[in-house]
Structure formats: structure tokens, C-alpha cells
Chain A
Amino acid sequence: MTVLLAILLGTAFGFGIHRVGASNPSGIINMLRLKDMHLMRVIFLAIAVSSTLIFLAMTLGIMDASQLSVKSMTWGVIVGGMVLGIGWGIGGYCPCTSICALGEGRKDAIFFVLGGLGGALLYMLIFDYISGTFLLDPLLGGKAILADMTPSNEVAIVSGVPALATALVIAVIFTTIAYFLPTSSEPEAL
């Protein structure tokens, strides 16, 4: 059952990634070059839509807050993000989009995946050293979330305000940003 759900959701996600053009490294690289904000708009709107849906579902009691999986805040998150940004800027692939790109037959994605396995291996080998540094120590209260929807171990930043209200304000801001970012010149379906 779990495997069937993994196949269905993974296929849907891959389909979506390809349909919006995120598996094309040109889209990501031109977003980072600030030449084509298409994917930035997709990302902002996707976050707004999904955030609204899940906070609505939790407020209505259809979804349990334990479904949330908030990641811990550490220096590693920022430093790791900066390291990832370097590879993203030259390669134009993320972990998921590279797998999607393999599915559409992009050969350079093979080398991205191989390099990725190398990067993952290096991290496995030096994990003892990294975990001895400040990089993985909790920061800003560890698992902090803005909306006040806290399954036990998480810290709510905007406490006392209904979680749905906080999520909706963020969603409106993100949708507005997506709306006003400049449209690209590349032809699009629909």
C-alpha cells in the first residue's frame, strides 16, 4: 500500500516538475540569472496553494498536525543551502528535477546523479567530523515554525494567532509576489 502511494505521488510530482519546465536546467539557471522568473513564480504560488490547503485541512480537523514534518534549524541549513546554491547555479538541477530529467532523456542528468552520489558518499564518510562541529547544533529553538500549529516539540514564532490566519497572510504575500514578478518571453501552453 505504502509502495503504491509512493509510485502514485512520485509519478504525479515528476509529471508536475516536467510540465512546469523545472527539469529543464535552462529554466533554473535563467531564474538564478534573473532573466526568466517563471519558475520563481511557480514555486511561490505552489507554496501558497499547498500551504493554504494543509492549514485549512488541519483547521477543519481533516488532517492531523502530526503529519507535519518540520526540519531543525541549524547553521548547517544555511551553510548547506549556500553549498547547494553553487552546484545549482552551474548545473541547473536539483535532486528531484535531475531524476525527472532522466525520465525525459537528458543525458547530462546522468552525470548530475553520479556527482550527487559522490557528494552524498563524502558526507557519509565525514559525518562524524561534521557532527562534532557547531554546524548541526540547534539554532533559533530548533524546530521552529511561524504558524501556531505545534505538535509537541516545535516552537511557534507567531503564537496566539490562529495558524490558518498566519498561513493565509503568507499565502497572499507569496501569490502577490508571483503575480507581479515579470513574465518571461518563452511561449507557454494555456
Chain B
Amino acid sequence: MQGKRLNWLYGGVLVGIILALAIFIVKPVGGSTQFSIVNGIIWDSVVSIVSETNSTTSGYTSDNSYLAKNNGSYAKAVANPMSYGLVFVLSIFIGGFISQITKGPSRSRDEGNAPTVWLNKFGNTSTFKRYIVTFIGGFFVIFGARLASGCTSGHMMSGMMQTSVSGYLFAFGVFVTGIPIALLFYAKKGK
């Protein structure tokens, strides 16, 4: 049985309820911060970078000024990897897996390497090229998200549902570049 995606009505209500539950029970959802936290954890396992202190409200600080900002809240998350934020993001993996094996939207074998829109444009022998492009894409997405202090979930969805002005302006910025880039990059040849 071929699994299909939920239509926009059921899908929007489902995601909306999850977003509301998250903020109601704990705090708004967010993902991109955890990439910095994971870097910090790896960094700290090689060379000690976070330390306990009495001078911040979190009780932690870091030699890296980014991890030390906001009273060392990131430094605290690096020192205690079982933090809400990191476990939340890692659990997204479990959710994707469960949906996949319970008749969620299915994908073909080729799509395991590159999405259909890519295969249509570049053919199915372009897997390595796809990996390089997604690497570059990931680099831009997380760098941009850190500069903006939030990503699609943290700024756009969580922000706009709280009627936050920054959420609206973030969404504006994303689509101003995202739409022309996607149109150009995936444009059909000869048209």
C-alpha cells in the first residue's frame, strides 16, 4: 500500500495542535540552536570549552563567546547533553521513522538519495552532486538560522503563531531569496 501525505486541512490541524501543545506544556519548538549545541559537545569532548561558574545565572560559562552568551544558557546545554532542546530535536528522528513504518508518505528507492525534483532535473546518476549541494544548503541554512536566532520552526511557525514581528520579517527574508533561488536552480532547460 502506497502511503500518501495528509491533505493540507488535516495536516495543518495536526501540526497546529502539536505546535500549541509544545508551547503550552514546555516552550515553542525550535531546531537550529541544537546544531551549535552539538558542535559545543563535540568541541568540549576534545578540548574543554565549558566550565561551571558563579558569575552567570545558568551556573555555566564558555571560552567561546557564542556559547557564553545569554548568561551561559548554551554552555549549560553543552555541559548537560540531556537537555530538553537537544532531546526534542533528536526525537524528531523517531517521529519520522514511526510515521514512515506506519503508512506515512512513502518514497521510492532513488528518492533515498535525492528528491524527485532533483532527479527530474539532474538525472539519477547525480547522487554525489546532490550530496555536495545538500551539504552547501545545510551550511547556508544553519548559518542563516544562527544569524537570525531561529529557523523555520522557531521563527516562522512559533514566531508567527505568537504574532511576533520578528517571525513575519524572518519569513519575508526567507522567501525573498528562497523563491528565486529555487526557480533558477531547478528551472527546466530550454524553456
Residue B183 CB within 8 A of the other chain: yes
Whether A124 lies near B186 (C-beta < 8 A) is no
Residue B46 CB within 8 A of the other chain: no
Chain B residues whose C-beta falls within 8 Å of the C-beta of A91 in the assembled complex: 133-134, 136-138, 140-141
Nearest-neighbour CB distance to chain B for A144, whole angstroms, equals 4
- Chain B interface, >50% SS class: helix
Chain B interface residue bracket vs A: 35 or more
Whether A190 lies near B186 (C-beta < 8 A) is no
Whether B147 lies near A130 (C-beta < 8 A) is yes
Residues of B138-162 contacting chain A, CB below 8 A:
138-162
Chain B residues whose C-beta falls within 8 Å of the C-beta of A106 in the assembled complex: 107, 111-113
Chain B residues whose C-beta falls within 8 Å of the C-beta of A94 in the assembled complex: 31, 141, 151-153
Whether A20 lies near B137 (C-beta < 8 A) is no
Taken together as a complex, chains A and B put the C-alpha atoms of A10 and B16 apart, in Å, by 14
Nearest-neighbour CB distance to chain A for B136, whole angstroms, equals 6
Residue A117 CB within 8 A of the other chain: yes
Chain A residues whose C-beta falls within 8 Å of the C-beta of B19 in the assembled complex: 46-47, 49-50
Whether A189 lies near B155 (C-beta < 8 A) is no
Taken together as a complex, chains A and B put the C-alpha atoms of A33 and B120 apart, in Å, by 14
Chain A interface residue bracket vs B: 35 or more
Taken together as a complex, chains A and B put the C-alpha atoms of A10 and B111 apart, in Å, by 24
Taken together as a complex, chains A and B put the C-alpha atoms of A81 and B173 apart, in Å, by 5
Whether B95 lies near A11 (C-beta < 8 A) is yes
Q: A-contacting residues of B (Cβ < 8 Å)?
A: 3-29, 31-32, 34-36, 38-40, 64-67, 69, 82, 84-85, 87-100, 104-105, 107, 111-118, 130-167, 169-183, 185-186
Q: B-contacting residues of A (Cβ < 8 Å)?
A: 2-3, 5-21, 23-27, 29-30, 32-34, 38, 41-51, 53-54, 57, 63, 67-74, 76-109, 111-124, 127-128, 130-131, 135, 140, 143-147, 157, 166-167, 170, 178, 183, 186-190
